Structure 1
Amino acid sequence: MKITKAMKKQLQSTKKSQNLIIRGRIIWIDFQKGKERLRKSTKLKYSPVAFNFVKKNYEKYLENGAEIWLKKEFENYENSLTQKRLEKLDFPKEKPFKPLSFDKLIDDFLAEKSLLKFSTKRTISSHISKIKCFLKSKKIENVFDFQRKHSLDFANFLIKNGISSKMTFHQYFSTLNSILNLAIKQEILSQNVLFLPKVSMLKEAQKCPFSLDEVELLLKNSTGSLNTYLYIAFFTGMRLGEIFALTWGDIDFEKKEISVTKTLDFITKKIGSPKTASSYRVIDLLEVLEKKLYSLRKDSSLPVIDFNVNKIRTSYKTLLKSLNLKYRVLYNTRHTFASIMLSRGEEPMWVGCKMLGHKNLNETFKSYAKYLPKNVVERAKFLDELRL
């Protein structure tokens, strides 16, 4: 609950020996009993009259069970006061309650996100669009009208609207959570009642990498820009946008390195900064890829892949069909690099942090732990010496 100026003034007026707290509109006393510090509810809702009553009877409240009979005493005292006498009491008045609409809070939230990358803002906007639909369906216009039970309602709303991915489900809740947290920072709400329900029907995003034999098959049977794309994707683990933003000047054949400093936004067709700070990286140019690119090199300012992404996707889909391979989205080339390298014993730090651009190894292990080679060792061999 927001503490008003009126409440602050009354709290400051208490004696040093009296420590009063207002929590959830209830007046509490804070006192020392021996070496123990205790807090006790007076069971009285805050009002100027109630606050003065507690101040006057502070010592009585320290007795066990006193809050029960004192509450009745206060009710009798309050009922005895006439409206005229109440008006004469010189208590500061609280400001009238002003409701805040969710639309205004969302506008404030978007304003704070205005300096983010366009692609990030686009994702947030798509989340907010669904959040607004949900609020409208529940006739929730005011921020104060959102209750804890609405968390379950929001979860059911997302599921009914086709959200089955666990990651996407969590992202929607994260956006709504951030909006409600802003209300706390603005001192509109005292707490965020939203919680993330556990939903068993949600699916983890499935990675379906190609095997090394399938990689070889795809490279041998592809041509032109698709072939170049697949070589880069399979042997660097770069993201789609990073590959399409790559220019020949980013490739250093002498140092055998590739600098990843930009990405292509497929919606706006504009070159921007990489996904995260850790995505800025210098990766190794593996020999198999170096041989392929060296023969194709052009002017440093020209793109390495001079083909439309939609045409690449179409050619890729046709190639999979002709080879009778299961369809996988183009992004699986990144997962393929990680799975093959890790399963063949390459260092996770090199694979995850240097090549893929992960922030730390936790991110790598979270996504690719199952591909790490499992060495079979005999555990606790020393126990064989026991004579049991």
Structure 2
Amino acid sequence: MAIYKKGNSYEVRISYKDIKGNYKQHHKTGFKSKEEAEDYIANFKLKLSNNIIPLKDKITFSSYFKEWYETYKEPVISDNTKRRYRTYIREVKKYFNNKKLCEVNRKCYQLIISDYGKTHVKTSVTKFDFAIKSMVKSAILDGLIDTDFTKGITLVYNDDNKIEVDYLNLSEIKATVNYLIENLKSSPKTTNNYIFILTGFLTGMRLGEIQALTWEDIDFENNKITINKSWDDINFGFKPPKTKASNRVIDIPSILSNILKDKKKDKKDKLVFFNNTAHRVPVSQNINKSMRRLFKRLGISRNNYHFHSVRHSYVALAYSLGIDFYTISKQLGHANPTTTINTYSYLIEEFKQEQTDILVKKLDKLFT
């Protein structure tokens, strides 16, 4: 048994006899310190002495996937992602059945992913494949398999049942925002949700970021909002924002600042959008229901337009006003403009001809 330093981390190599008396090699990397590597060896020795080091040819694919998830993924992922991985555990059990980990090769995996793809859309297949790829890398590091059988696989999927997300055009965005501003106080029952929706249209904030908004986060004097947390619908409390870049301070239009200031006069709660009747902040179902009623009044037909689509509408509105993607990305909380461009590339195509016409006219004016 030996410990080696590799760059800024340590790796362990262990030679041992399995319960059949055969010599085996075990290799693991990624230890942050020598002490951590030594603890791992001590734990391995303990398992070895109790004959609980499993034989490679006895480990099923599904059991290793579950163990990998519980060891490496579950402690560090969000509750939403945990739900997705628990679904993966069931699907791995279904599609891989009782296959041994060592029995799965490229052909076997291709057949399985093709079968899985018959009833799943592209996004679902891609995410499922990513989870399997990550697990396979771990199995190689654990010395349980020798090759990555997920390389060179062709992903098969079925988009027949894919739900196309609806988006508003510019005239519909403007009509919606104007209606919200003009009718905020017409119905006290809908005021909270209407201001919630308006905040999304005028800031591009995520649902969880608006849910978690407190009065301390709003700088009314300078028309700014500090975003440093999100809302956990499951545990009914704050949680860290989606990414490191999501921690940001954004500028807001004065019209929204004034509306929020008026709202504060009647509020004693710490949370801006806490509903005293429901005893909670609005959840996505409430907001989407309010938007459907709103669109019905405006004669807008967008059955698959949900609150996350409001973020797209914010980008469309900002881009139509000539705002560059760097500024938009900072408002959205993206790490760099590339993320914003890749996510909203369809908007570039939509406005490309309009922008090209402006460019040509300006060039003509400059040189004639």
Fold conserved between structures, TM > 0.5: yes
- Inter-CA distance 248–121: structure 2 relative to 1 (3 Å threshold): same
1:339 aligned to 2:332? no
Aligned length: 283
8 A Cα contact 1:247 1:300, kept in partner: no
CA drift at 1:194: 1.2
| Structure 2 stretches lacking a partner, 5+ long | 1-12, 17-53, 185-190, 276-281, 364-368
1:246 partner SS: coil
1:217 aligned to 2:175? yes
Q: What is the root-mean-square deviation of aligned Cα atoms in Å? A: 2.9
Which aligned pairs between 1:369-388 and structure 2 lie closer than 5 A?
369-372=345-348, 373-374=351-352, 375-376=355-356
8 A Cα contact 2:60 2:101, kept in partner: yes
Which aligned pairs between 1:301-312 and structure 2 lie closer than 5 A?
302-307=270-275, 308-309=282-283, 310-312=285-287
Q: Matched residues in 1 for 2:254 and 2:346: separation?
A: 27
2:149 is aligned, of 163, 169, 193, to: 193
1:155 aligned to 2:113? yes
Question: Which structure has the larger Rg?
Answer: 1
Q: Matched residues in 1 for 2:238 and 2:55: separation?
A: 51
Query: What letter is aligned with 2:95?
Result: F
1:172 aligned to 2:128? yes
CA drift at 1:229: 1.0
CA drift at 1:151: 3.0
2:168 partner SS: coil
| Counterpart for residue 100 of structure 1 | 59
| Structure 1 stretches lacking a partner, 5+ long | 7-94, 382-388
| Counterpart for residue 306 of structure 2 | 329
8 A Cα contact 1:144 1:189, kept in partner: yes
2:106 partner SS: coil
- Inter-CA distance 128–276: structure 2 relative to 1 (3 Å threshold): farther
1:146 aligned to 2:123? no
8 A Cα contact 1:248 1:303, kept in partner: yes
Q: Matched residues in 1 for 2:234 and 2:159: separation?
A: 28
CA drift at 1:98: 4.7
CA drift at 1:271: 2.2
Which aligned pairs between 1:199-278 and structure 2 lie closer than 5 A?
199=156, 201-202=158-159, 206-219=164-177, 220=179, 223=184, 224-278=191-245
1:149 partner SS: helix
Which aligned pairs between 1:115-130 and structure 2 lie closer than 5 A?
115-116=75-76, 117-130=78-91
Query: What letter is aligned with 2:59?
Result: L
8 A Cα contact 1:249 1:300, kept in partner: no
- Inter-CA distance 99–345: structure 2 relative to 1 (3 Å threshold): same
- Inter-CA distance 282–181: structure 2 relative to 1 (3 Å threshold): same
1:133 aligned to 2:133? no
CA drift at 1:104: 3.7
Q: Matched residues in 2 for 1:160 and 1:286: separation?
A: 47
Deviation per CA, 1:326-369: give whole Å up to 9, x if none: 221121101100122123210211111x1111121211111113
Q: Matched residues in 1 for 2:216 and 2:166: separation?
A: 32
CA drift at 1:213: 2.6
Instruction: Tell me the TM-score normalised to structure 2 length.
Output: 0.69
1:271 partner SS: strand
8 A Cα contact 1:247 1:302, kept in partner: yes
1:295 partner SS: helix
Moved more, 183-192 or 150-159: 150-159
2:72 is aligned, of 93, 112, 118, to: 112
Q: Matched residues in 1 for 2:168 and 2:318: separation?
A: 12
Query: What letter is aligned with 2:154?
Result: P
